A = this chain, B = another copy of it.
């Protein structure tokens, strides 16, 4: 296993030693943390200017960059990774770090005049990240546990291409009727109802069987219930959290098998 962990720390360094430290660390594709007083200029899709102040700056191995202020979940300035090039230099007693990328063409320039803490790392991180109950996960939950939607429901396919777009889940109910299911992980809007209605028409054009349309979501938006009645569609409550629970109870191997045969 290659070297990893904390590789170097500078406490209250001067600008010159910081430049040497940072330029080497970035060249070596390490993660660099810099806390200090800086100003930031961004030009690209828009343009922004951040006056001097103390911030946390992170330079990652993929070229991505984050500038964080003392409050707020979102970075005040940033640069996505990928084709971003980062380099640093000394200019008149200050440290200037430039990050530039093309497509879209944009650049972030950070100028430090005082540093409080600078560190570099190689983060060893192979841990899996799994997210449950996205819209896709809700589809899967209905497939592996159809009673979440309705008793006796038997799914046939999912993400099936029908002309106007995609049907989330397609199946049969206990009486043998075709069922088209549109799943939303948030409050379903009128657009969702109209979308489902278009699907239904496309399906009905290809069969003489009775076709039911079910909008499955945790909630219904304003006036959508009325619209569903008008369109001859049904609403079914579907809770993202219960979908997540249903998925957790299924071993991933079984889930993989299910989707292989689906």
| Residue A39 interfacial (CB < 8 Å) | yes
Q: Which residues of B have CB within 8 Å of A45?
A: 133, 240
* Contact present for A48 and B9 (CB under 8 Å): no
Which of B6, B31, B53, B132 contacts A12, CB < 8 Å?
A: B6
User: Is the interface on chain A under 10, 10 to 19, 20 to 34, or 35 or more residues?
Assistant: 35 or more
* Contact present for B48 and A129 (CB under 8 Å): yes
| Residue A175 interfacial (CB < 8 Å) | no
* Contact present for A60 and B70 (CB under 8 Å): yes
A219-262, CB under 8 A of B: which get 1 and which 0?
A: 00000000000000000000011001000100000000000000
**Interface segment, A14-22, A61-69, A86-94, A163-171?**
A61-69
Residue of B nearest to A79 (CB): B73
**Interface segment, A116-124, A148-156, A206-214?**
A116-124
* Contact present for B119 and A117 (CB under 8 Å): yes
* Contact present for A51 and B128 (CB under 8 Å): yes
Which of B31, B47, B48, B65 contacts A70, CB < 8 Å?
A: B31
Q: Give A71 to B53 CA distance when docked, in angstroms.
A: 26
Which of B43, B56, B78, B81 contacts A31, CB < 8 Å?
A: B56
Q: Give A70 to B127 CA distance when docked, in angstroms.
A: 12
Q: Which of A124-165 contact B (CB under 8 A)?
A: 124-134, 137
22 contacts between A and B (CB under 8 A): A6-B12, A33-B56, A35-B119, A45-B240, A46-B185, A47-B131, A47-B132, A48-B129, A49-B128, A50-B130, A52-B127, A53-B125, A53-B127, A54-B125, A56-B58, A56-B121, A61-B71, A62-B71, A70-B125, A73-B78, A73-B81, A116-B121
**Given A35-B121, A47-B133, A54-B124: 13 more A-B contacts, CB < 8 Å:** A6-B35, A6-B116, A33-B117, A46-B185, A47-B241, A48-B130, A48-B132, A49-B128, A49-B130, A51-B128, A53-B123, A54-B123, A73-B78
